[in-house]
Amino acid sequence: MTPMRTIIFGLVLSCASFLRAEEAPLKPPSCLPEYYSEVFATLDGPWGLVEQDATNGQFRCTYESPARHEILVLEHIPCDRTTAPAYFNETANRLIQGSSQQLGKFEELSQFELRARKANCGLTQSIWLFVLPRSVQIWTWTFPRTEPEAAPGALQAVRKCVNRQRYEEARRDGNVTMGRWGPCIREHALDLLNDGERTQALEVFQDLLSTSPSDFEAHLAYMASTADPAAASNSARIVFRNSEDPAQLKCAAAILGIPAPNIESLPPVAPEDAGLRLVLIPLESDSMWLLDDVAKLYEQITDVPVSIRRLEEPWEWKTPERIAHQREVQRFLHVEGQPPIDFTGWSPERYVEAIRANVETADAFSRWQAEHMIADVTSTPGQYEVAPHLKHLREQLKEKRSADRRTMYVAITRTNIYSGDSNFLFSKAHCTPAENAAFLSYYMMLGSTLGEPAAARTRLTERIAKSLVAASIWQLGFPRSTDPACPTSYPDGVARLDQQTLVLSAEVRSQLERLRDSAGEPPAGTAP
Spell out the residues 6+ positions from residue 395 whose beta carbon is closer than 8 angstroms to its own.
none
Q: How far apart are CA 105 and CA 238, in angstroms?
A: 42
DSSP state of 137: E
Chain centroid to Cα 232, Å, comes to: 25
DSSP 48-109: EEEEEEEETTEEEEEEEETTTTEEEEEEEEE--TTHHHHHHHHHHHHHHHT---TT-EEEEE
**Nearest Cα to Cα of residue 220 among 195, 188, 250:** 250
Q: How far apart are CA 185 and CA 443, in angstroms?
A: 29
CATH number of 263-317+383-516: 3.40.390.10
What does the H/E/C string look like for 377-421? HHHCCCEEEHHHHHHHHHHHHCCCCCCCCCEEEEEEECCEEECCC
Half-sphere exposure of 446 (CA within 13 A, CB side): 16
Q: How far apart are CA 431 and CA 302, in angstroms?
A: 19
pLDDT at position 103 is: 61
DSSP state of 21: P
* CA dist list (Å): 121 to 65, 72, 94, 267, 268: 19, 17, 21, 71, 71
Q: How far apart are CA 90 and CA 345, in angstroms?
A: 43
**Nearest Cα to Cα of residue 72 among 164, 154, 181, 176:** 154
pLDDT at position 338 is: 85
What residues does 116 pair with on adjacent strands? 106, 127
What residues does 76 pair with on adjacent strands? 59, 137
Q: Are strands 123-132 and 135-144 parallel, antiparallel or unpaired?
A: antiparallel
pLDDT at position 522 is: 55
Say if CB 79 and CB 87 are below 8 A apart. yes
CATH 1.25.40 residue window(s) in the chain: 174-256
**Nearest Cα to Cα of residue 223 among 234, 212, 210, 213:** 234
Spell out the residues 6+ positions from residue 277 whose beta carbon is closer than 8 angstroms to its own.
304, 305, 306, 307, 402, 406, 407, 408
**Nearest Cα to Cα of residue 370 among 356, 382, 349:** 356
Helices (H), 10-58: 37-40
Say if CB 278 and CB 304 are below 8 A apart. yes
Q: pLDDT, tens digit, for every residue of 175-221?
A: 999 999 999 999 999 999 999 999 999 999 999 999 999 999 999 99
Q: Phi and psi dihedrals of 360, rounded to 5?
A: -55, -40
pLDDT at position 69 is: 84
Burial class (CB in 10 A: 0-12, 13-18, 19+), 519: exposed
**Dihedral sign of CA atoms 246, 247, 252, 256 in order:** positive
AA letter at 21: A
CA dihedral 388, 527, 295, 491 (to 10 degrees): 90
Q: List the end-to-end C-alpha distance of the chain, in Å, as a whole number.
A: 68
Q: How far apart are CA 333 and CA 348, in angstroms?
A: 14
What does the H/E/C string look like for 262-295? CHHHCCECCCCCCCCEEEEEECCHHHHHHHHHHH
pLDDT at position 104 is: 79
Q: Are strands 383-385 and 306-308 parallel, antiparallel or unpaired?
A: unpaired
Say if CB 33 and CB 56 are below 8 A apart. no
Q: Which CATH architecture group holds 174-256?
A: Alpha Horseshoe (1.25)
pLDDT at position 27 is: 85
The length of the chain in residues reads 528
AA letter at 493: G
CATH 3.40.390.10 residue window(s) in the chain: 263-317+383-516
Q: How far apart are CA 438 and CA 412, in angstroms?
A: 9
AA letter at 152: P
Q: How far apart are CA 336 and CA 470, in angstroms?
A: 41
What's the pTM value of the predicted model, to 2 decimals?
Answer: 0.86
Burial class (CB in 10 A: 0-12, 13-18, 19+), 387: middle
CATH 3.40.1000 residue window(s) in the chain: 3-165
Burial class (CB in 10 A: 0-12, 13-18, 19+), 426: buried
Q: Phi and psi dihedrals of 389, rounded to 5?
A: -75, -35
**Dihedral sign of CA atoms 220, 222, 226, 231 in order:** negative
Say if CB 183 and CB 214 are below 8 A apart. no
Q: How far apart are CA 201 and CA 218, in angstroms?
A: 11
Low-confidence spans in the chain with pLDDT less than 70: 1-25, 100-103, 146-152, 519-528
Name the CATH topology of 3-165: Protein Transport Mog1p; Chain A (3.40.1000)
Q: How far apart are CA 429 and CA 158, in angstroms?
A: 55
Say if CB 126 and CB 117 are below 8 A apart. yes
